[in-house]
Amino acid sequence: MRVRDLLAPGAPRLRLLAAEEELDRQVGGVMTTDLQDPGRYLHGGELVLTGMLWRTGPADSERFVRTLAAGGAVALAAGEAEVGPVPEDLVDACRRHRMPLLAVPDDIAFGTVTEFIGRQVSADRAADLAALVDRHRQLVSAAGGGGLDAVLDLLGGDLDLDCWVLTPTGAVIAGPAERLSEADRDQLVRAHLGAQRRRGRPPHRARLADGFYSLLPAPAPADHERPPVDCPLADWMLVVAGDVTEWTPKRQQLAENLARLVAAERHRRDEGRRLRRRIADELLALLRRDADPAEIGRALYASSAMAARYEAADPKSPEGEGPWLVLSAEGTGLPEGTVRAVLEEALGGTTDRALVAGTGSGAVVVLPAAEGPVPADALRALLAPLEAGLGSEGRITLGVSAPAAEAGGLRGALEEARHARRIAAARIGRVCVAGPEELASHVLLLAAVPDEVRRAFRARLLDTVIAYDLEHQADLVRTLEAFLRSDGSWTRCAAQLHVHVNTLRYRIGRIEELTGRDLSRLEDRVDFYLALELA
């Protein structure tokens, strides 16, 4: 800001007393002092606020103003609350040294002047940085420069403005990761995805324990390999500490330019993934037609060699030695290509060894088991934040194979992953994952049973028990579940339910009367167990 801005409409009511010709000086900050010699504390560019308590006579005014001019101060604002009107000797000294002199009336606090200057200086600095960010965005778009961390460091150092770039699963792309806990990131991405799903107008707001955060989408441009721009499940987001809606227009422009820079960097990164996508699609085509293991090994070698160029590591052998994991994923109620983009972000990482092939509404992933094992529970936790953006119709189901020792075993691993995905699809939830360990259990058999058969089987065994519970406010279904979990042990089950053994025997007897079954027989216990699993 300039000195003359202190006299503009909306500024504190100050009066100009001297050096009108110097009002275009740039104000870089404020210093409040009543020292007789404040020179050692001046760094240049300050407006000096003073209550004139240093003045004992006319000679003091000359000495004080001469010190300010030598120290690089750009203006002097004298308060009239303590010693009354500004004396003429101070006005004369300011004229001689061409130092703009402003009178601060006794009803205007120094804090008001300081706050006004602080806001104006911060806005100017934000505008300069906004232009810098915009130039950097153009550089990234034109030359593939990147450098998000450098830009965010600049904002943090110059404006004390913390910013982060996050994926929809909460991974940190850029920014001070140590200042956002995993729980905070989870809360932020869920708030962002929920607001995007409701078609809220950005920036969105989220409140954490330490205050408000602003959330801005940073979608990459759409193309034939990416989902539509309005699909937040696959796009990065910009997180800014503070409420952007309360900022000055110049600072808001800074946030908008930064979001565009993030989008440009995302687009540049995606351009670099095109070759990897083509290799992944080729590998899936080989698996579908049951190609020779040597062909599959060459495709795996190509992907490993490409990753090695980025990591200065040795590629895997042309035989494509394993072990390898295969994931089968399917999306319901989502735009085509979304699941592929989501898994690229979730599994890509810095080495980017995951091969993610698109299957329309779903995806197939092949990745080295030794470098990135993906247990079903870990994958479920990784994708859990996406639930906030899936809505009432959207759903993602995934199946994970056991490791395949070599390229020739990938075809079987793909089938295993598909079977596991069918198990996941039979469950309730927005994001469901099943692993290879479930393929050897009754869950696989239940997943293959048609829905109408499942409902009929469950109804035949449990409907009378459920109806009895509803009519008599009993607890027979829960008792049955506890009895089966306790392997038919009366004492353990009674302890678990906090009831007497005789009470437990009465309840089990009532279940047997209602169903015509005998819970001492293994066959009947198995039937009840399966019926409860179908709930």
Q: What is the pLDDT of residues 197-222, one digit of tens each?
A: 888 888 888 999 888 999 998 876 55
In the chain, pLDDT over 90 holds for what percent of residues? 19
Does position 324 have pLDDT exceeding 50, yes or no? yes
Angstrom CA distances, 25 to 87, 260, 462, stand at: 24, 34, 85
The mean predicted confidence, pLDDT, of the chain is 81
Taking only the tens place, the pLDDT of each residue in 19-40 is 888 888 888 788 888 888 888 8
In a shared domain, residues 289 and 225: no
Q: What is the CATH number of the domain that holds 527?
A: 1.10.10.2840
In a shared domain, residues 211 and 317: no
How high is the pLDDT of residue 517? 92
Is the Cβ–Cβ distance between 300 and 320 less than 8 Å? yes
Q: What is the CATH number of the domain that holds 161?
A: 3.30.450
Domain-terminating residue out of 108, 137, 171: 108
In a shared domain, residues 42 and 131: no
How high is the pLDDT of residue 170? 87
Q: Residue 301 sits in which domain range?
A: 274-447
Q: What is the rounded CA–CA span in Å between residue 191 and residue 385?
A: 9
Domain-terminating residue out of 246, 272, 298: 272
Q: What is the pTM of this model?
A: 0.56
In a shared domain, residues 140 and 281: no
Does position 285 have pLDDT exceeding 50, yes or no? yes
Helical H segments across 372-499, by residue range = 376-383, 387-390, 410-425, 442-447, 451-472, 476-485, 490-497
Least confident of 275-284, 363-372, 447-456: 447-456
Does position 440 have pLDDT exceeding 90, yes or no? no
In a shared domain, residues 153 and 214: yes
| pLDDT interval class at 103 (50, 70, 90) | very high
Is the Cβ–Cβ distance between 484 and 530 less than 8 Å? no
Q: What is the CATH number of the domain that holds 433?
A: 3.30.70
224/456: higher pLDDT: 456
In a shared domain, residues 129 and 278: no
Is the Cβ–Cβ distance between 102 and 16 less than 8 Å? yes
Interval 400-425 mean pLDDT:
84
In a shared domain, residues 220 and 306: no
Taking only the tens place, the pLDDT of each residue in 106-116 is 888 888 888 88
In a shared domain, residues 505 and 416: no
Does position 92 have pLDDT exceeding 90, yes or no? yes
Domain-embedded: residue 118:
no
Q: Residue 324: enclosing H or E segment and its boundaries?
A: strand 324-332
How high is the pLDDT of residue 352? 62
Strand order from edge to edge, sheet including 15-18: 15-18, 101-104, 75-79, 46-50, 29-32
How high is the pLDDT of residue 244? 85
Does position 428 have pLDDT exceeding 90, yes or no? no
Taking only the tens place, the pLDDT of each residue in 217-274 is 887 655 545 554 456 787 888 999 888 888 777 777 778 888 888 887 877 777 777 8
Domain-embedded: residue 114:
no
Domain-embedded: residue 335:
yes
Q: Residue 48: enclosing H or E segment and its boundaries?
A: strand 46-50
Domain-embedded: residue 59:
yes
Q: How many structural domains does the chain have? A: 4
In a shared domain, residues 222 and 349: no
Angle CA 447–450–455, to nearest 5:
95
Domain-embedded: residue 225:
yes
Domain-terminating residue out of 223, 242, 272: 272
Angle CA 308–311–313, to nearest 5:
55
Angle CA 503–504–506, to nearest 5:
65
In a shared domain, residues 258 and 386: no
In a shared domain, residues 318 and 263: no
Question: Tell me, what DSSP letter sits at residue 21?
Answer: G
How high is the pLDDT of residue 116? 84
Domain-embedded: residue 468:
yes
How high is the pLDDT of residue 312? 42
How high is the pLDDT of residue 128? 56
In a shared domain, residues 336 and 439: yes
Domain-embedded: residue 312:
yes
Domain-embedded: residue 342:
yes
